[in-house]
Amino acid sequence: MKRIHSSPLMLALSILVLCCGCSLAVAQEPSASQTPSANAESAAKKYFSDVVLVNQNGEKMRFYSDLLEGKVVIINSFFATCAGSCLPLNRNLEKVQQSLGARMGKDVHIISISVDPAVDTPASLKAYAKKVNAGPGWYFLTGDKQSVELALKKIGHFVDNKQDHLNIFIIGNERTGLWKKAFGLAKNEELMKVVDSVLADNITSPK
């Protein structure tokens, strides 16, 4: 898999290019000391923004600072009343959660953002989280329409019609700048290969 180097802003913009059944790796250009610079971190925060969302427990969370910064994350979009692919997608994430074991909520976090925030309240998302046996580190997010749409646009998952939501997982290591995408209905072992490769990435790895 080819790895692409870019600025943090271009990193984020590159995530917007999505296609089913394929993957993309994007990396920030390391500094001479092989550590992310304050400027790079600032640029990432500026792009992703700290728009405030609300999780299934009714807690407010800043998009970049609380959910992305320094973390390995798996991001998907869905809506709780979906009668199509949403439940299979989240059942796949349930399997990923099981495969991660003790690493879940510590080394990897899952971020599921509703594309129907007007209907998906924290209470309904909490019930949905229970249905898929979501444990610590798996956040189901809603909020006011404008805030949710902004977050979805930043990751390339905004749709005008909720039925058109993407069946794509974005899997990223914000600390190193490596981002990949995977078809969310793929087999668990294939998804775990992508997750493990992102987890194993290190800023000092040869490029």
Q: What is the DSSP string of 45-78?
A: HHHH---EEE-TTS-EEEIIIIIITT-EEEEEEE
Percent of the chain residues past pLDDT 90, beyond the cut: 76
- Look at residue 202 in the predicted model and tell me its pLDDT: 86
SS3 content of the chain, % helix, strand, coil (to 5): 35, 20, 40
The CATH H-level (homologous superfamily) assignment of domain 3-199 is Glutaredoxin (3.40.30.10)
Tens-digit pLDDT profile for residues 61-99? 999 999 999 999 999 999 999 999 999 999 999 999 999
- Strand arrangement, sheet containing 138-141: 3-6, 25-28, 178-183, 168-173, 72-78, 108-114, 138-141
pLDDT interval class at 8 (50, 70, 90)? very low
pLDDT at residue 158 above 50?
A: yes
11 vs 3: CA distance, rounded Å:
11
Domain locations in the chain as residue ranges: 3-199
- Look at residue 42 in the predicted model and tell me its pLDDT: 77
The answer, as to whether pTM is greater than 0.85, is: no
pLDDT interval class at 43 (50, 70, 90)? confident
138: which strand partners? 110
Percent of the chain residues past pLDDT 70, beyond the cut: 78
